[in-house]
């Protein structure tokens, strides 16, 4: 296991082990378990993380053990096949660059949702409300399950993207406007990451 020092942190003058936290413990800041070669998470299911919970760049195939309530969540760059066991509440949620074929288990509402670079063919079970929603670089063939409310819906490099060429503004389930507020930035970054992985 790499970066063993990450599992230990100081809070209120005490030293804690992230792999052995008391039940119902509240982490006041971030909890970072990224890039540790983890194949599974320790049982943090009763833990609340007020800051970000990072478990990106590991070898995870499941989110079992994940905290249910976090301020922000990043599980990108793993081999995760399902969001079941993931947080039910997170203002920021990133599950990009995994092996997802479904969004089952995603939070219903969030502010920023990123699921780019997976194997999704539709957005069923995804958030119904998100300020930014990026599902670029997938295999999505229809917009049947787009969020009801979204200021910037980004879906570059999908089969359904033909004919749009821009991100969308969605209100009450209806496409109100088409524009490219992020100027393809998210798509270009994701594309570069995908290129590096090949």
In angstroms, the CA 19 to CA 7 distance is: 7
Residue 76's domain spans which residues? 1-90
- Does residue 12 have a pLDDT over 90? yes
pLDDT tens figures, 107-121? 999 999 999 999 999
Residues 101 and 168 in one domain: yes
The encoded tokens of residue 131 equal 């300020």
Residues 66 and 80 in one domain: yes
Residues 154 and 167 in one domain: yes
Residues 113 and 132 in one domain: yes
- The region of weakest confidence among 24-38, 41-55, 129-143, 147-161 is 147-161
Residue-level pLDDT at 163: 67
Residues 148 and 72 in one domain: no
Cβ-contact 61, 80 below 8 angstroms: yes
Domain boundary among 59, 90, 121: 90
């Amino acid at each position: 296991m790499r970066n063993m020092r990450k599992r230990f942190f100081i809070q209120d003058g005490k030293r804690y082990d992230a792999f052995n936290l008391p039940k119902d413990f509240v982490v006041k800041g971030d909890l970072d378990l990224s890039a540790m070669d983890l194949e599974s998470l320790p049982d943090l299911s009763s833990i609340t993380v007020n800051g970000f919970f990072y478990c990106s760049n590991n070898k995870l195939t499941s989110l079992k053990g994940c905290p249910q309530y976090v301020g922000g969540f990043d599980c990108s760059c793993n081999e995760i096949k399902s969001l079941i066991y993931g947080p039910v509440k997170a203002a920021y949620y990133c599950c990009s660059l995994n092996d997802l074929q479904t969004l089952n288990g995603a939070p219903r509402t969030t502010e920023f949702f990123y699921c780019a670079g997976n194997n999704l063919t539709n957005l069923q079970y995804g958030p119904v409300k998100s300020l930014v929603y990026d599902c670029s670089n997938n295999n999505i063939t229809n917009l049947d399950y787009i969020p009801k409310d979204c200021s910037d819906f980004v879906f570059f490099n999908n089969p359904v993207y033909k004919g749009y060429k821009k991100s969308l503004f969605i209100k009450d389930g209806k496409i109100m406007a088409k524009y490219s507020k992020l100027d393809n930035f998210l798509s270009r970054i994701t594309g570069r990451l995908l290129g590096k992985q090949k």
